[in-house]
Every structure is written in C-alpha cells, then in structure tokens.
C-alpha cells in the first residue's frame, strides 16, 4: 500500500515514444469496508481539467472509495491525491441539506417551496423594475454539461440578460480567447496521447506536477523511459518540472510576452521554422516577424531577468525537435497581456508546423474540471455551441433551435464578464445576483471590496452550493446542491474527451442537482418559447444532453453522434463525434484547415494590446480562408511594479493537495493535513535580507490589504513572493471574513484584467513583507513534496496518504 500524499505521482511505468502508456490502476477504499461488497459506478474525476476516468465505490448507500479506469486514455487507471482522497467531502457532516433564507439577519432553514418562491418573486420584481439588466448570474467550472446548458437557456433565451459568466473567467477565459484568435474557434487541437509521442515539451506558466498530477505521471514515464523528450520549463518557482528540465527559465513574473517574442525571434533568425507550412496554412507571418525582430535575447534577458544564453538554449531545444507539445496555464492566463502571450505559444507551434500531427500540438490548458463545458454551452461569455455573438446568422440559428425570437438573446450588449458584473452590483444596476457553485468571497481579487458588494442591502444574493461557503454566508437565500456522485451528467476535459458520470448515491437531505433547481426556477418564472410552450422542455439529464447534441450539430464541438448509451460503452469520446466520426476525433486540424473563415469563426478577433474587438468586415478583409492567424504584440510592463514601499512581486497559485477555495479538498482529511494553512514562500536571498527564517510569522502587504502566515524559504527566484490562494475563512469562527489576521491571498490582489479575455490578474502585485514573530520551533504549514520544498533541513516531511493500492499492467 502506497502513501500517495508523500509520493504524489506514485510508481513509474517508463515507456518509449510511440508505445502505449502502460496501465497502472490506483485505488483507495475507506478502511474496514468489505471489498467484495463494494459496488462500482462509472464516472470521472472532477477535481481538475484532466478528467481522469474513475469508478465510484459504494457500500451501504455511501461512497467509500474510488479506483481509476484502466481503459481510459486520459489516465490509464491512475489517480492523483485529489482524485484518490477528495471524494470524502461528499460524506462531510456539514453538507447543506435544507435551503436557508435570511430572516432577521440570520440564515434559517426553509422549505424548497418557500426558498424558490422567494427567488422567483425577487426575480420578477427586478425584471419589472429594471428589466433583464438588473439580473446577474455567476456560475462555476465544476458543474455538469446538463447544468450549464439549462442555465444558458434559462438566462440567455429566457430572461435575456447579458450578465452571465462562469468562474472559468478566472481560469480558462484566456485559453478560450487564444484558441479563437489563432484557430478561429475554441477547442484543444490535440490529444493527451501527443505527450506519449512527442520529443520536446515546452511548458510556460503551467506547474503540471501540481495542477495536473496525472498528466505529470504521464510525462514522468516518458522522462524515465527510452527516447526521453527534452523539457523546457518557464516558471519563476523551482517546481518539480523545473527540477527535471533541460532548460529552466525562472523569469520575472509579468514578462511572459517578452520571453515568447524572444523565443520566436530565435526560431526565425535561425530558420528553425517550417516555411512551407507557414506559407500554405497561416496568415500575417510578416507582421509577426517584424514585431519579434525587436526582441533579441540580450533585450529579453534584461526584461525577464534570465541569462541570454539560457533563452537561446530554450529556443534551440524548441526549434530543433521534430515533435513539439507546448502547454500553458495560469502563469500566462492570470497575467497582464494574457491573451497576447497565449497567442505566442500558439504561434510557436505554427512556426514549427507542428499542429494536427501525432506528437505535435499546443495545449491552452484548462484548469477547472468542466471549464470546457461552461464555454461550449454558453454559460460564460460565449454563445452556445461556439457560435459568434457578432454573426447575426449564428444568433438566428440558435434562436431557431430554442424557438425564441432572436431579439430575446441579448446580443445588443457584449456578454458581461464577472469583474464587470461585480462593478454593476457595486454601482447598483444589478440588484439580483445568483452565484452557483463558486466562491467569489475567496476567489476574486481584492476581497474586502467583493465582501462589501455582497453585503449590500440593495443586492439580493442567491447562492447554490453544497457547503456554507464564505460567499453563502453573505447570501439572502442558500440552495443546497447535489454534487458529483449524487447526480448523472457529462463533462469534457482539456483534450475534448467527454465522460458520463452516473449517479452513485442519493444526495444528502433535500439537496438537489443544479439542473433540477433551474428547471424549478424556469417553471416558476413562466419561461416559454415563442409558441407559449415551456422554454426548457426536458426533465432529465439525458434529455438535456439530447437537446444539447442537436444545438451543436455542424459546429466545431459537434456532439450529434454521442449518446448516454454510447458513453456507457466507451472510455470517453473526444468531440467532434458525428455520423462520419462515430468514435470522435483525436486531433483537430489534421488537414491543416482551421476554423477561421468569417462565416464559421467564433470570434472576429481583437487588438491584443487594447482589447478592441474587430468586426465582421475587419475579419472579411483579412481573408483567412481556413488559415491560422499569427497574432503579434509588443511587450508592455505591468501597471503595478515594485517600488520602495512594496519592493517584492507577489504571485498566487495552487498546491497539489487542494482545489480552488478548499471547499471539497479541505474536507478530505489527508489533503487538509498535507497543506493545512496558508504559507508565504520567499527566496533564500530575500529571506536573508529581511532576516526571516523558515517558520517565522510574516505579514505580506499590498496597497489593497495584508495577509499573515508562516514563511517557507524555498527555491523560487529572488524578488518573488508566493501565497497559495486556497485559504479563506469557512473553517474559522466568523466563516465569511477575517477574524483578526487575514490569510486569503486575494486580500492582496488587484482589480485589473487582461484586455481581451478579461481574465483577472492574480500573478502580479507589488508587496512588502516583514517579520512579525519568531518560528519558535515551528515550520511553515507548506508541503515538502512540491515547489514549496524547503531549503532548510529538519522540516517534517509531508505524508499521511496511506492505504492506496497501485496495480501495474506493464504491457498495457
């Protein structure tokens, strides 16, 4: 039995390029459960966007464990610590089981009828007083496709407000926009199997070993096998991936674009580019070449604070392989110039002609488990099934499918991103805000402001959640929801693989699925189509899936060839899945025709520096004709830079053991014990200068707030401060806000966003750090197994995940 808290990635099954990734089935069962009596139900993990195939073990009506699915190409049986232990949150004693209504300042239990009647009554009142612009909806990256699609129809087709966004805005909005800018529509071009085939991996701003632990197992098995791929890692921290890298560039945060321009400068000047591919399948190469010509390694070295020769070496590795897989995540997406930088990662694959071929792709990686579905269904700022807001024919087509007048779909205003939605609530124009499965009182920037918005008397706040989160505690109505394992539905991971997750157990008490709550709401609101029939005409997840299939026909994310029955028989199916491709499609763009045609594309593109949106005529003039688009931009420094008062640069991020605001993982004993409290990570140089030692109590202050925690001295770059963003206040006395010392990282972050994707900046804030107390023998409550590995000796090693079995099948 392995301890998979101590050994995050488990045993190795090395293999050479081109051979199938061997099977290793990971399993964890609650102690004392009679193994022979456990019944297994098909599902997939929803604790990150890898979406590992897993079965849920049930005994006596309770979830008692999980095991990976051997045949699933996503994980070949493996599970990471969150997948192995995170399910225990389902059984947590503090699950919400009854709706709550605020009365006399207190949240008190109420019936579903009373709660939903109040929600409907307030909605009608706001619609009468202010119209649809008074209503806002902010949802999640952790629901199922069926929940999202019902939400999108209710809000866009029924209420007609543009104020609908997902917390995917904080996570994958830039991935979505970068894919649209370059390739015309959303959707990962490649397959996770490309990692088994490639000879070069380039990861920028993506701490794969911690954010996608099973993907890192896959990469480790290549790194430790024959024909090891070369690895270029860009990360200001010394991550586990950096420890294995051929080239590690610990750049100053906020300088991604300069580095990526510098790498392209080298690729072009050394002629490490596929000129034939570029000429035949791309446009705007000349503009790109002109822009990046101003970024020779010496200039980039100065901006990024890494040696020029290391930049040259990174470019040489990227430029001389034959099968390149690139990936980026929050280090790119949560910075200023996010979309501009993410587009350069696409450009590198295009310059090398390495897209649409085995072992060659780019992953604009997702973070949240079902983020892809938020985007596909239109439960964020996108129009359902990757349609284009600015294309009247696309809007008309959707209106026909929903049987509503196209004017009902709010294309008269741009879709509202969450930062703008909170601004409208702050100003008072939004007076009804429904928050579904997300926790903005911990996850949005500048938390004192977010709390003050949610606490306003004039704002009616509804929260749907399985737990009494920091946000739920500030609500007027709280609706208890069923989660994974307690409802049936589908979701799509970051290589477009769709899984079906079956209901394994009943939800606790009177908790209901989000889809059922929305069906009830639509009925109470009397939402109808233009013939007076109920707008939402399904009552089960399967019928909802069928409706979504119909609306995707002919679009890039075509689900028309899928069914629940088919998903039950397969180990995940990648879209598009059609009559012509009944088993789905592993790689998009194999014919090197991209989705950029004016009539088909999902977005006409943007000016990357200002965010100005292009119009149909601008796109038509470009005549992309199915060719990919090189987007170029000059580097500009972030708005907030270190100064005398705030001389260090903060970045926030995740650890391998927690998910988002810890509402689930904080309730799994092993995960919580591995990373129980916030810590403040500093470089050795800064710690020495500030006379701070491992475990000392420190205070981090930005112009917006302060956080206190114990110091971990680790291997990150000089000038960098890292604070994990998982920690809030739900497990403390007040539960909603700091009670004395604050420790939510977003007390420090800035209200600012990328001009194109509108993704907030969590990776750049100027801060000041000071010691406020001695360690007195304590060390920081940070894992020793990850990027936060301590430099000091004698720190107790992170452990405590005993009882996991690993079954190897080397021949796969």
Q: How far is the CB of 657 from ligand SF4 (least distance, A)?
A: 10
Residue with smallest beta-carbon separation from ligand SF4: 83
Residues 39-58 as x/- pattern, contact with ligand SF4 by CB under 6 A: ------x-xx-xxx------
CA distance 557 to 573: 12
56 versus 769: smaller Cβ distance to ligand SF4: 56
Among residues 266, 247, 263, the alpha carbon closest in space to that of 255 is found at 263
Residue with tokens 């200001």: 236
CA distance 609 to 754: 9
Contact 138, 434 (CB under 8 A): yes
Q: How far is the CB of 691 from ligand SF4 (least distance, A)?
A: 39
Kindly indicate which of the ranges 207-215, 517-525, 559-567, 716-724 contains the residues binding ligand SF4, using the contact rule CB under 6 A.
207-215
Burial 768-780 (b: 16+ CB within 10 A, else e): bbebeeebeeebb
81 versus 162: smaller Cβ distance to ligand SF4: 81
Kindly indicate which of the ranges 78-86, 116-124, 422-430, 569-577 contains the residues binding ligand SF4, using the contact rule CB under 6 A.
78-86
# binding residues, ligand SF4 (CB under 6 A): 14
82 versus 323: smaller Cβ distance to ligand SF4: 82
Q: How far is the CB of 80 from ligand SF4 (least distance, A)?
A: 3
CA distance 412 to 90: 42
Q: How far is the CB of 604 from ligand SF4 (least distance, A)?
A: 34
Residues 366-385 as x/- pattern, contact with ligand SF4 by CB under 6 A: --------------------
Q: How far is the CB of 525 from ligand SF4 (least distance, A)?
A: 35
53 versus 760: smaller Cβ distance to ligand SF4: 53
Instruction: Please report how many Cα atoms fall inside a 13 Å half-sphere around the Cα of residue 440, on the Cβ side.
Output: 34
54 versus 750: smaller Cβ distance to ligand SF4: 54
66 versus 289: smaller Cβ distance to ligand SF4: 66
CA distance 24 to 20: 12
Q: How far is the CB of 188 from ligand SF4 (least distance, A)?
A: 15
Q: Which residues contact 568 (CB under 8 A, 6 or more apart)?
A: 42, 500
Report residue 206 as tokens: 């993506």
68 versus 250: smaller Cβ distance to ligand SF4: 68
53 versus 319: smaller Cβ distance to ligand SF4: 53
Q: How far is the CB of 53 from ligand SF4 (least distance, A)?
A: 9
212 versus 487: smaller Cβ distance to ligand SF4: 212
The footprint of ligand SF4 on residues 677-736 (CB under 6 A) is none
Burial 112-130 (b: 16+ CB within 10 A, else e): beebbebbbebbeebbeee
The radius of gyration computed from the CA coordinates of the chain, to the nearest angstrom, equals: 25
Q: Is 396 helix (H, G, I), strand (E, B) or coil?
A: helix
Q: How far is the CB of 213 from ligand SF4 (least distance, A)?
A: 5
φ, ψ dihedrals at 708, nearest 5°: -120, 145
Angstrom distances, CA of residue 567 to CA of 370, 497, 618, 772: 17, 11, 41, 56
Q: How far is the CB of 746 from ligand SF4 (least distance, A)?
A: 22
Angstrom distances, CA of residue 806 to CA of 57, 555, 812: 16, 41, 14
56 versus 519: smaller Cβ distance to ligand SF4: 56
Binding-site member from 23, 25, 56, 79 for ligand SF4 (CB under 6 A): 79
Q: How far is the CB of 82 from ligand SF4 (least distance, A)?
A: 4
Among residues 673, 505, 435, the alpha carbon closest in space to that of 38 is found at 505
Q: How far is the CB of 151 from ligand SF4 (least distance, A)?
A: 23
Report residue 557 as tokens: 């994310």
Kindly indicate which of the ranges 80-88, 266-274, 517-525, 749-757 contains the residues binding ligand SF4, using the contact rule CB under 6 A.
80-88
* 80 is a site residue for ligand SF4 (CB under 6 A): yes
The footprint of ligand SF4 on residues 551-570 (CB under 6 A) is none
Report residue 65 as tokens: 């464990």
DSSP-derived secondary structure for 732-790: SSSSSS-SSS---GGGT--S-B-TTT--B--S-EEEEEEEEE--TT---S--SSSTT--
CA distance 515 to 98: 17
The footprint of ligand SF4 on residues 213-272 (CB under 6 A) is 213-214
Contact 77, 221 (CB under 8 A): no
Report residue 160 as tokens: 């007609």
47 versus 348: smaller Cβ distance to ligand SF4: 47
Kindly indicate which of the ranges 72-80, 186-194, 324-332, 474-482 contains the residues binding ligand SF4, using the contact rule CB under 6 A.
72-80
51 versus 321: smaller Cβ distance to ligand SF4: 51
218 versus 768: smaller Cβ distance to ligand SF4: 218
52 versus 474: smaller Cβ distance to ligand SF4: 52
Q: How far is the CB of 665 from ligand SF4 (least distance, A)?
A: 9
Kindly indicate which of the ranges 211-219, 234-242, 267-275, 661-669 contains the residues binding ligand SF4, using the contact rule CB under 6 A.
211-219
Q: How far is the CB of 190 from ligand SF4 (least distance, A)?
A: 18
The footprint of ligand SF4 on residues 291-330 (CB under 6 A) is none
CA distance 640 to 635: 15
Q: How far is the CB of 656 from ligand SF4 (least distance, A)?
A: 9
What is the rounded end-to-end Cα distance, in angstroms, of the chain?
A: 21
Q: How far is the CB of 10 from ligand SF4 (least distance, A)?
A: 11
Binding-site member from 65, 83, 205, 561 for ligand SF4 (CB under 6 A): 83
Residue with tokens 């996991």: 804
Kindly indicate which of the ranges 209-217, 349-357, 495-503, 672-680 contains the residues binding ligand SF4, using the contact rule CB under 6 A.
209-217
Angstrom distances, CA of residue 754 to CA of 355, 383, 611, 705: 26, 20, 8, 22
* 349 is a site residue for ligand SF4 (CB under 6 A): no
83 versus 437: smaller Cβ distance to ligand SF4: 83
Q: Helices 338-351 and 256-269, interaxial angle, to 10°?
A: 20
Binding-site member from 69, 212, 281, 619 for ligand SF4 (CB under 6 A): 212
Q: How far is the CB of 76 from ligand SF4 (least distance, A)?
A: 11
Contact 282, 333 (CB under 8 A): no
83 versus 605: smaller Cβ distance to ligand SF4: 83
Q: Which residues contact 597 (CB under 8 A, 6 or more apart)?
A: 184, 624, 625, 626
Percent of the chain that is helix, strand, coil (3-state, to 5) = 30, 20, 50
Q: Helices 297-304 and 308-320, interaxial angle, to 10°?
A: 120
Q: Which residues contact 806 (CB under 8 A, 6 or more apart)?
A: 2, 10, 11, 24, 25, 26, 27
Q: How far is the CB of 244 from ligand SF4 (least distance, A)?
A: 18
Binding-site member from 76, 82, 555, 660 for ligand SF4 (CB under 6 A): 82
Contact 658, 745 (CB under 8 A): no
54 versus 744: smaller Cβ distance to ligand SF4: 54
82 versus 394: smaller Cβ distance to ligand SF4: 82
Kindly indicate which of the ranges 75-83, 453-461, 645-653, 774-782 contains the residues binding ligand SF4, using the contact rule CB under 6 A.
75-83
Q: How far is the CB of 172 from ligand SF4 (least distance, A)?
A: 14
Asked whether the CA dihedral 674, 677, 682, 687 is positive or negative, the reply is negative
Q: Give residues in contact with ligand SF4 (CB under 6 A).
A: 45, 47-48, 50-52, 75, 79-80, 82-83, 212-214
């Amino acid at each position: 039995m392995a301890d998979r808290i101590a050994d995050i990635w488990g045993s190795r099954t090395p293999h050479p390029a081109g051979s199938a990734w061997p099977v290793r089935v990971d399993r964890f069962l609650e102690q004392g459960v009679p193994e022979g009596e456990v019944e297994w139900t098909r599902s997939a993990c929803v604790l990150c966007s890898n979406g590992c195939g897993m079965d849920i073990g049930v005994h006596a009506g309770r979830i008692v464990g999980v095991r990976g699915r051997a045949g699933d190409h996503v994980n070949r049986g493996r599970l990471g610590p969150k997948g192995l232990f995170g399910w225990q949150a389902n059984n947590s004693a503090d699950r919400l089981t009854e709706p709550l209504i605020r009365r006399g300042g207190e949240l008190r239990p109420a019936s579903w009828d009373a709660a939903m009647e109040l929600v409907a009554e307030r909605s009608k009142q706001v619609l009468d007083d202010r119209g649809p612009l008074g209503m806002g909806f902010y949802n999640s990256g952790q629901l199922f496709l069926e929940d999202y699609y019902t939400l999108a129809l209710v809000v866009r087709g029924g209420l007609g407000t543009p104020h609908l966004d997902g917390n995917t805005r904080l996570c994958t909005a830039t991935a979505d926009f970068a894919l649209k800018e370059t390739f015309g529509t959303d959707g990962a071009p490649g397959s996770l199997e490309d990692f088994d085939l490639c000879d070069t991996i380039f990861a920028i701003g993506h701490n794969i070993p911690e954010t996608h632990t099973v993907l890192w197992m896959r990469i480790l098995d290549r790194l430790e096998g024959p024909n090891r791929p070369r690895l270029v890692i860009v990360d200001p921290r010394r991550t586990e991936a950096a420890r294995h890298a051929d080239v590690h560039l610990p750049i100053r945060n906020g300088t991604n674009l300069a580095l990526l321009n510098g790498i392209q400068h080298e690729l072009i000047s050394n002629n490490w580019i596929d000129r034939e591919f570029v000429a035949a399948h791309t446009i705007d190469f000349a503009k790109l070449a002109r822009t990046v010509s101003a970024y020779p390694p010496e200039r980039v070295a100065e901006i990024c604070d890494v040696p020029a020769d290391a930049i040259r070496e990174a470019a040489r590795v990227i430029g001389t392989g034959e099968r390149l897989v690139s990936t980026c995540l929050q280090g790119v997406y949560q910075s200023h110039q996010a979309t501009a930088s993410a587009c350069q990662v696409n450009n590198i694959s295009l310059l090398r002609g390495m897209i649409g071929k085995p072992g060659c792709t780019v992953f604009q990686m997702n973070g949240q488990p079902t983020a892809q579905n938020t985007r596909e269904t239109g439960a964020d700022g996108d129009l359902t099934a990757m349609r284009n807001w600015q294309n009247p024919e696309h809007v008309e087509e959707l209106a026909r499918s929903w049987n509503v007048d196209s004017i009902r779909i709010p294309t008269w205003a741009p879709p509202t991103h969450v930062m703008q939605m909170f601004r409208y609530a702050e100003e008072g124009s939004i007076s009804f805000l429904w928050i579904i499965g997300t926790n903005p009182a911990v996850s949005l920037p500048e938390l004192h402001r977010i709390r003050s918005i949610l606490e306003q008397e004039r704002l009616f706040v509804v929260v749907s959640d399985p737990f009494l989160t920091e946000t739920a505690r500030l609500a007027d109505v709280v609706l208890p929801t069923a989660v994974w394992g307690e409802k049936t539905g589908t979701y799509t991971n970051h290589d477009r693989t769709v899984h079906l997750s079956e209901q394994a157990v009943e939800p606790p008490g009177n908790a209901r699925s989000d889809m059922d709550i929305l069906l009830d709401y639509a009925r109470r609101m009397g939402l109808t189509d233009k013939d007076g029939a109920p707008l939402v005409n399904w009552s089960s997840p399967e019928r909802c899936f069928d409706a979504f299939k119909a609306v995707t026909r002919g679009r890039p994310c075509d689900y028309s060839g899928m069914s629940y029955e088919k998903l039950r028989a397969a180990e995940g199916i990648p879209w598009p899945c059609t009559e012509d491709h009944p088993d789905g499609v592993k790689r998009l763009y194999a014919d090197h025709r991209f989705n950029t045609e004016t009539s088909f594309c999902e977005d006409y593109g943007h000016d990357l520096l200002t965010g100005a949106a292009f119009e149909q005529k601008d796109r038509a003039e470009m005549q992309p004709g199915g060719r990919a688009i090189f987007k170029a931009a000059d580097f500009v420094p972030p708005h907030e830079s270190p100064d005398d008062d705030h001389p260090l640069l903060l970045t926030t991020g995740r650890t391998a053991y927690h998910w988002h605001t810890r509402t689930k993982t904080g309730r799994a004993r092993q995960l919580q014990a591995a990373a129980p409290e916030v810590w403040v990570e500093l470089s050795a140089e800064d710690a020495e200068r500030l006379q701070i030692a491992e475990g000392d109590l420190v205070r981090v202050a930005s112009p917006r707030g302060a956080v206190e925690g114990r110091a971990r001295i680790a291997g990150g770059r000089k000038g960098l401060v890292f604070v994990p963003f998982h920690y809030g206040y739900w497990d403390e006395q007040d539960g909603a806000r700091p009670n004395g010392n604050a420790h939510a990282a977003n007390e420090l972050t800035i209200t600012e966003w990328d001009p194109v994707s509108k993704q907030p900046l969590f990776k750049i804030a100027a801060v000041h750090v000071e010691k406020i107390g001695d360690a007195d023998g304590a060390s920081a409550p940070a894992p020793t197994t990850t990027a936060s590995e301590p430099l000091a000796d004698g720190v107790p090693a992170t452990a405590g995940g005993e009882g996991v079995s690993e079954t190897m099948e080397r021949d796969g």
